[in-house]
Amino acid sequence: MGATTQMLLGLGISLILLVYMLVRSKLNPFLALVIGAILTGVLGGMSPLKVVDAVKTGFGNTMANLGILILLGVMIGKVLEVSGATQSLGEAFVRIMGEGHEIIAMILTGFVTSLAIFCVPAFIMLFPLAKAISRRTHTSISALGIALAGGLLWSHELVPPATGPIGGAGIFHADIAKMMLYGFLVGVPMMIFLLFYTKWLGKKYPALAAEDDEGTETTTTQRPSAFLSVLPIALPVVLILTASATSGVTSGTTKLILSTLGAPVVAMGIGLLTGVYTLLRGVPRKDVAGALDTGIRGGANVFVLIAAGGALGNVVNESGVGQVIAESVVKAGLPAILIPFIIATLLRIIQGSGAVAIMTTASITAPIMQTLHADPVLATLAACVGAMFFAYYNDSYFWTINESIGVTTAKDMILHWSIPTTVFWAIGGIEIVLLSLFV
């Protein structure tokens, strides 16, 4: 057996076993990725000691690049959750958009919230607001709920500092500021579709939100203002984008200050401190510390998964299989940007988790895309868009949405969430291919 054949066969067997470990054996994703990395190297012909070194190097480098960012991000999310800032933001968008534009308000609320909070907890926190709007304005709860879910997915899948996009960007070494801009723009056509789709959905399913049981209404007292609520999210975004936009037109001390403040770790740290000292002023110090500790524990699960993906990616790079695949793609004349898009789509179908699909795809394809000189931002977005495909039974977000709205039949579940996510995937895929022709 030739070396090239062995490398490709080793990667193929390792990926099959990785999917099996994730889907059938229910093994922890971190362990599955580490085992997959080791198998990729050993079966591909690398010496065991070199495989171990590659795993450690890939894990450590990824942790160094992303660990602090992810921890800061989840702590900002916890501050927003504890303070009630998410509900304040939602209510502010409803007031700003005005009567008759509640669906747009829900989309924007979801987008801003999911920059810092994972989709499932964010949806659970904000759904009572959608129910209140449904009863007050006689708007279908299906329309409002899916609008909220789609807005949350927009930033969760495409725009840093949300964990999935920032993790994928870190593995692909993509510019964070460009990811923010491109991710936002790629999501706009998806949300335009969502606006029309939810209006149609509201006509097909006109039921309003059911009345809550007595005593379950959430209080709106002592919540922070909308301005203070958005600061911990908006401030890092503004600092990062400003540093990127002014890098070529400033110099000396001004450039140093803007570059420092706009460094993602510094910007996210400023956002966190802003949230702690504005949103949690009236919260006992012990409770503040407890909330941040909870955020750290949640973040640990995320960044060890990302770091394990980095280990797999480094093994793919060190083994040489990435170079082999890249050369094959060039010979076949295939658009390079389709590689992460297709792999993320397949992984999404098989195991359901968008985050796992993004990280695993990034880990496998980063060395390939680097060899093909593909734009790292577009490569990241290709993986992110691929991971949006056809949400269904193996996706926890799918169940959260449908059970909250009260959908019970398989057909209605698919119409509510599987169809729109598939259209998002198709729209995004076309956008990525078109962008790759010019970037």
pLDDT of residue 1: 61
Residue 256 in domain: yes
Token readout for 397 is 């977000």
Query: Could you read off the pLDDT of 225-279 as tens digits, one per residue?
Result: 999 999 999 999 999 999 988 888 888 899 899 999 999 999 999 999 999 999 8
Q: Please state, in angstroms and rounded to a whole number, the distance separating the CA atoms of residues 149 and 159.
A: 15
Q: How many domains does the chain have?
A: 1
Instruction: Please report the sign of the dihedral spanned by the C-alpha atoms of residue 189, residue 192, residue 196, residue 202.
Output: positive
CA distances from 136 to 90, 208, 210, 378 (A): 15, 10, 12, 42
pLDDT of residue 220: 45
Residue 176 in domain: yes
Give the residues of the chain that fall short of pLDDT 50. Answer: 213-221
Residue 413 in domain: yes
State in Å, rounded, how far the first CA of the chain is from the last one: 40
| Short-list 311, 324, 269, CA closest to 73 | 269
pLDDT of residue 314: 83
Looking at the chain, the whole-number percentage of residues with pLDDT higher than 90 is 51
| Short-list 82, 60, 65, CA closest to 272 | 82
Residues 6 or more apart from 27 whose CB is under 8 A from it? 21, 35
Residue 239 in domain: yes
Q: Look up residue 417 and give its DSSP letter.
A: I
Residues 6 or more apart from 273 whose CB is under 8 A from it? none
The residue written with tokens 């010496």 in the block is: 47
The shares of helix, strand and coil residues in the chain, as percent rounded to the nearest 5, are 80, 0, 20
pTM score, two decimals? 0.84
Range(s) of the domain holding residue 75 = 3-209+224-436
Q: Look up residue 408 and give its DSSP letter.
A: -
pLDDT of residue 330: 66
Residue 215 in domain: no
Token readout for 161 is 């500092």
pLDDT of residue 115: 92
pLDDT of residue 264: 92
Q: Please state, in angstroms and rounded to a whole number, the distance separating the CA atoms of residues 234 and 162.
A: 13
